[in-house]
């Protein structure tokens, strides 16, 4: 993408604010230490998995209604709501008392539910708003370039957030750095644990300010006007009617359904791996301060991933891209399963690249085949499938860890060794699980191949 084109797109206020919102909402400072943050607050691996399943469940319950309401009463309002909820969810973590169970569990549970609600409100609404802004200008073919720009800027923001987040969390390294700067701080471990949370809270306020500045596309204003004039009951009925009709459209459109299936296949297992990555880093003997540097290094890949995604989208078939991402994900899972000290971080490269490419390709493919009036709802269905699968694999993981924990052969292990064995034992099931789901998704594609290939599309099939 040349600089002139990028500058032209960024001159559109809604596009500029869409990119800024995505960055502020998603580049969270606690991501590089996500798993160990929960564990260091006093939670167990099973509780951690259950909490993330609760997060996914709240998205599943709210995703479709929020998408339908976005199409009915306004996408901007849903985006603003998501930023406001983000602020509340971060406040709960910022002031949670460390180690005081069960209070910590319930506070984290409330955080996960609110976080899911924020994700559901933003999902589909921000993207549909930006896409229809381009469509009103007759520039919808530039959407791929908008995604490329957004992902590039977001990757840079991730590099900063990941690097700082892990450094702030490691009290020893942070005090050493401040000492070099001749600042006598004496920051405690408990204080350091909260610093990435407070930094993310600041981003939440930034996301709220940015979302308020968004404007509804001209094509949406007439629908908003009708919605305001209609009785509240009619608006709710219209939202659920749109949900049902969009669901029927997806199920009766094999191309759209296959795009969503292919996306959730890669997304849910890759997200589960990325959720557990900080604990994985501990198990391959990496120091905590390096977590952010590693995540930042992977974030650099995100600068180049969109360009690769656009090339694949424009020059390769959907089938080729499906096989490519499937192979890349499996290689990453299989390589990580060996837990090579230090070098075990290398296979994660394949997982990071796969989820980045999948996000770009699914957005490009799905937006191209979806009618404008149901775009936000269809994107919410996509988010629903992703999070339903993510919640499901989280529950499976928690049940597996629970089963392994009660295996009599582990009875002689001390607590630290037991947690190490449980993590590695449960992790070993991921490659097998992925192969099973990959084959099942492939079977659907082969069975509906003719319908998929004959469905009109502006993209390469």
Mean pLDDT of 423-444: 93
Q: Is the pLDDT of residue 64 over 70?
A: no
* The pLDDT of residue 370 is above 70: yes
- In the predicted model, is pLDDT for residue 3 greater than 60? no
State residue 457's pLDDT score. 40
Q: Where are the beta strands (DSSP E) in 98-229?
A: none
Please state the rounded mean pLDDT for residues 286-312. Answer: 83
**194-205 confidence digits (pLDDT tens):** 999 999 999 999
Q: Which pLDDT does position 235 carry in this prediction?
A: 59
Tell whether the model's pLDDT for residue 176 goes beyond 80: yes
Q: What pLDDT is attached to residue 89?
A: 97
Q: Is the pLDDT of residue 411 over 80?
A: no
∠ Cα 424 427 431 (to 5°): 135
Task: Please say if the pLDDT value at position 93 is more than 80.
Answer: yes
Tell me the residue length of the chain. Answer: 461
Q: Is the confidence at residue 410, as pLDDT, over 80?
A: no
Tell me the pLDDT tens digit for each residue of 124-160. 788 888 988 998 888 888 888 898 889 889 888 988 8
Before 282, cis peptide (omega within 30)?
no
What is the model's pLDDT at position 458?
A: 36
Residue found under tokens 């070098």: 343
Q: Is the pLDDT of residue 383 over 90?
A: no
User: How many whole angstroms separate alpha carbon 385 and alpha carbon 267?
Assistant: 10
Give the pLDDT score at 227. 57
Give the span between the Cα atoms of 432 and 451, in whole angstroms.
30
User: Can you tell me the mean pLDDT for 229-257?
Assistant: 76
Q: Is residue 376 predicted with pLDDT exceeding 50?
A: yes
Specify the range with the lowest mean pLDDT, choosing from 8-17, 66-75, 220-229. 220-229
Structural domains of the chain in order of their starting residue, each with its CATH number: 3-454 (1.20.1250.20)
User: What's the mean pLDDT in 415-437?
Assistant: 88
Percent of the chain with pLDDT over 90: 37
- Predicted pLDDT at 302: 75
Per-residue pLDDT, 456: 39
Looking at residue 455, what is its pLDDT?
Answer: 47
Comparing 64-78, 193-207, 362-376, 437-451, which segment has the lowest mean pLDDT? 64-78
Indicate left, alpha or beta for 108 from its phi (over 0: left) and psi (-120 to 50: alpha): alpha
- The 10s digit of each residue's pLDDT in 183-228 is 877 888 899 999 999 999 999 999 999 999 999 887 776 666 665 5
Between CA 108 and CA 41 the distance in angstroms is 10
CA distance 125 to 384: 13
- What pLDDT was estimated at residue 353? 92
Q: Does residue 15 have a pLDDT over 50?
A: yes
- Asked if 301 and 353 count as a contact pair (C-beta separation under 8 A), the reply is yes
Instruction: Give yes or no for residue 461 having a pLDDT over 50.
Output: no
Residue 72's pLDDT band, with cuts at 50, 70 and 90, is low
Per the CB < 8 A criterion, the answer to whether 93 and 201 are in contact is no
Position 416 pLDDT exceeds 80: no
Contact call for residues 250 and 378 (beta carbons, < 8 A): yes
Average pLDDT, the chain: 85
Hey, what long-range contacts does 309-313 have (CB within 8 A, 24 or more apart)? 309/147, 309/148, 309/356, 309/357, 309/360, 309/361, 309/364, 310/1, 310/144, 310/145, 310/147, 310/148, 310/360, 310/364, 312/357, 312/361, 313/144, 313/360, 313/361, 313/364, 313/365, 313/459, 313/460
């Amino acid at each position: 993408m040349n600089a002139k084109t990028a500058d032209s797109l960024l001159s559109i206020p809604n596009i500029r604010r869409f990119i800024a919102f995505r960055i502020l909402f998603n580049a969270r400072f606690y991501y590089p230490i996500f798993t160990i943050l929960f564990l260091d607050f006093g939670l167990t691996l099973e509780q951690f998995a259950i909490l993330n399943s609760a997060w996914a469940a709240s998205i599943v319950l709210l995703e479709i209604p929020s998408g339908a309401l976005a199409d009915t009463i306004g996408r901007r309002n849903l985006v603003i709501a998501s930023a406001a909820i983000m602020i509340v969810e971060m406040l709960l973590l910022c002031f949670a008392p460390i180690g005081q169970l069960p209070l910590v569990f319930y506070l984290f549970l409330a955080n996960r539910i609110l976080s899911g609600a924020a994700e559901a409100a933003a999902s589909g609404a921000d993207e549909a708003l930006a896409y229809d802004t381009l469509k009103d200008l007759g520039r919808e073919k530039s959407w791929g370039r908008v995604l490329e720009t957004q992902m590039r800027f977001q990757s840079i923001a991730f590099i900063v957030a990941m690097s700082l987040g892990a450094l702030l969390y490691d009290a020893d390294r942070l005090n050493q750095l401040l000492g070099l700067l001749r600042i006598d701080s004496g920051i405690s471990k408990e204080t350091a644990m909260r610093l990435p949370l407070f930094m993310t809270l600041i981003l939440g306020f930034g996301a709220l300010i940015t979302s308020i500045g968004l404007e509804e596309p001209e094509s949406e204003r007439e629908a908003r006007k009708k919605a305001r004039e209609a009785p509240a009951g009619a608006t709710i009925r219209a939202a659920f009617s749109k949900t049902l009709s969009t669901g029927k459209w997806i199920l009766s459109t094999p191309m759209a359904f296959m795009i969503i299936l292919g996306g959730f296949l890669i997304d849910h297992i890759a997200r589960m791996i990325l959720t557990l990555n900080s604990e994985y880093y501990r198990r391959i003997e990496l120091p905590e301060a390096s977590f952010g540097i590693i995540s930042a290094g992977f974030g650099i890949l995100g600068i180049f991933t969109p360009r690769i995604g656009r090339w694949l989208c424009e020059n390769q078939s959907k089938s080729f891209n499906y096989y490519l991402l499937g192979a890349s994900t499996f290689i990453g899972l299989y390589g990580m399963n060996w837990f090579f000290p230090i070098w075990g971080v290398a296979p994660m490269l394949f997982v990071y690249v796969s989820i980045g490419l999948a996000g770009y390709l699914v957005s490009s493919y799905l937006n191209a085949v979806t009618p404008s009036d149901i775009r936000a709802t269809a994107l919410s269905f996509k988010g629903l499938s992703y999070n339903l699968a993510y919640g499901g694999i989280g529950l499976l993981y928690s049940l597996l860890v629970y089963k392994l924990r009660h295996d009599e052969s582990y009875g002689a292990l001390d607590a630290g060794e037991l947690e190490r064995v449980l993590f590695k034992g449960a992790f070993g099931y991921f490659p097998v699980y992925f192969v099973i789901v990959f084959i099942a998704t492939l079977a659907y594609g082969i069975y509906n191949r003719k319908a998929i290939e004959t469905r009109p599309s502006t993209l390469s099939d």
